[in-house]
Amino acid sequence: MAKHDPEYDHEHIAIPGYLGVFAVLIVGTILTYFVATIDLDWIFPGANTLVALLIAFTKMACVMLFFMHVRWSPRLIWLAVAASFFWLAIMFAYVMQDYLTRATGVFTQ
Amino acid sequence: MSTHGHSDKFVYHEPGLQHQFSDMEQQEESVSIGMWMFLAQEIMFFGGLFTAYLVFRSKYPMAFAAGSNHLDAFWGGLNTIVLIVSSLTMALTVYYAQKGNRNLQMLFIVLTMIFGATFLGVKAIEYNDKFHHGLVPIAGLNKRERGTAGAEQHPEGKPCWEVAEHGSEHEYVNPKGEFEWADCSLAKMAQDEGYLTTAEKTGYFANGELDGNKFRDKVRIFYYLYFVMTGLHALHMIIGLGLMAWLLWTAYRGYYNADYYMPVEMSGLYWHFVDIVWIFLFPLLYLLGRHFTHGGH
């Protein structure tokens, strides 16, 4: 007997949903390209990078939630995903608090 | 009789269930968590390179912008689209595996492989371009013969900030296959407008003057990171193509059905992860200095 419990439905978002996510990813890519050609430094230096990363994070969230089915996954999977980014944040934070606070001429050239 | 031998009662045994799991749901959850643990360490694997990128870009933003502007955003953007399409076909592969539709599943595996191979082909075109322009950061790995080039080699007697990017072509001599870079105009611009970083104020200058060779060495750091990050990503694509070939064979042999398709779903997770890495590599490598050349400066 095969299991076809509606509570444990694996179909997720079906084809229109996948195409919708795909459209968001394509629009995000085109947007990334055009925003990169506009100088946003008048807002604050590095605003271009921030906008590019915001779009990239949005695209990543779409891929993870829908293509990778995290949206319908058990809490344990959510925890694994969150922990990955938390570890990454620890690595970035501790490396940068070192490099950004070094006195010039001591360890830098 | 049970096939396990530890019960006299008949125990229904789903064909895809391995003996250490009590039911399909537990098996699927265990397999998923194992795959996500693998992806977590993959995130840290690439994370080390992103950390290196963060450190050196925060020190030498102008050299990174200059190096980035020489990458072709058309090829990078095209590859982003190709990978997103391949992610869609991969998602549909999993979808049809869940439906137990073997033929459409195999069709979408083949499409995913075609897009994956297209990505690698575009990557080869780009690497070849770097080889011809003296932009491979390891000395000796660049094209050595004579030819013509734009701004990569320094014309005699000109300060490095007056070498126009994609300027007039001149004779190209690179007998040792060295890394070549001549244009330091972005550093000059940052100097004039007063936003050089502390590291840049020492890193680009010799005797108080902008030094083309010192700037070149910082651009070289960008190209090291470009090759290692995209190279590691390309290696993941090659492994992904291997996985797809295996999936195609096992699907053809009829290993999967609507109740057992976890290998397809797990390979999909891997493929989407590789796509996500590229989603970050594209803006961080190809687009980061583009607003300096297109945005009214």
Q: Give the B window 41-60 contacts with A, CB below 8 Å.
A: 43-44, 47-48, 50-51, 54-55, 58-59
* Predicted confidence (pLDDT) at residue B3 exceeds the cutoff of 80: no
Kindly give the pairing relationship between strand B170-172 and strand B147-149: antiparallel
Q: Is the CB of B246 inside 8 Å of chain A's CB atoms?
A: no
Q: Which two tokens stand for residue A77?
A: 């999977």
What is the per-residue burial (b if ≥16 Cβ within 10 Å, else e) of A23-32? ebbbebbeeb
The mean pLDDT of B82-89, rounded to a whole number, is: 97
SS3 content of chain B, % helix, strand, coil (to 5): 65, 5, 30
Contact A87, B40 (CB under 8 A): yes
In sequence order, the 6+-apart residues with CB closer than 8 A to the CB of B46 are B229, B232, B233, B277
CB contact (8 A) between residue B195 and residue A45 = yes
Segments of chain A scoring below 50 in pLDDT: 1-8, 109
Distance CA(A101)–CA(A98), nearest Å, equals 6
List the single residue in B80, B280, B291 with the smallest CB-CB distance to A38.
B291
Task: Lowest mean pLDDT of A53-57, B185-189, B230-234, B235-239, name the range.
Answer: B185-189
CB contact (8 A) between residue A95 and residue B54 = yes
- Of B249 and B16, the one with more pLDDT: B249
Output the pTM of the full model.
0.89
Supply angle C-alpha A52, A53, A55, rounded to 5. Answer: 70
Q: Is the CB of B107 inside 8 Å of chain A's CB atoms?
A: no
**Residues forming a β-bridge with B260:** B257
Q: Which H, E and C letters describe B83-147, residue by residue?
A: HHHHHHHHHHHHHHHHHCCHHHHHHHHHHHHHHHHHHHHHHHHHHHHHHHCCCCCCCCCCCCCCE
CB contact (8 A) between residue B43 and residue A84 = yes
**What distance in Å separates residue A101's CA from the closest CA in chain B?**
11
In tens, the pLDDT along B120-149 reads: 999 999 999 998 888 999 888 888 875 555
Q: What is the DSSP string of A43-79?
A: TSTTHHHHHHHHHHHHHHHHIIIIIS-GGGS-HHHHH
Q: What are phi and psi of B10, to 5 degrees?
A: -70, 125
Q: Give the A window 30-59 contacts with B, CB below 8 Å.
A: 32-33, 36-41, 45, 48-49, 52-53, 55-56, 59
In tens, the pLDDT along B25-78 reads: 888 889 999 999 999 999 999 999 999 999 999 999 999 999 999 899 999 999
Distance CA(B10)–CA(B278), nearest Å, equals 50
Homologous superfamily assigned to B24-294 = Cytochrome c oxidase, subunit III, four-helix bundle (1.20.120.80)
Phi-psi category of residue B207: left, alpha or beta, with phi > 0 → left and psi -120 to 50 → alpha: left
The mean pLDDT of B206-219, rounded to a whole number, is: 92
List the single residue in A10, A68, A91 with the smallest CB-CB distance to B51.
A91
Q: Tokens 């969150």 sit at which residue?
A: A82
Distance CA(B219)–CA(B181), nearest Å, equals 8
Q: What sign does the CA torsion over B245, B75, B270, B101 have?
A: negative
Q: What are phi and psi of A11, to 5 degrees?
A: -70, -25
* Predicted confidence (pLDDT) at residue B158 exceeds the cutoff of 90: no
Contact B277, B233 (CB under 8 A): yes
What pLDDT score was predicted for residue B154?
Answer: 64
Percentage of chain B modeled with pLDDT above 90: 60
The mean pLDDT of B77-90, rounded to a whole number, is: 97
Please report, for chain B, the start and end positions of each structural domain, with discontinuous segments joined by +: 24-294
Residues of B in contact with A108 (CB under 8 A): 59, 198-199, 202
Supply angle C-alpha B79, A33, B148, rounded to 5. Answer: 70
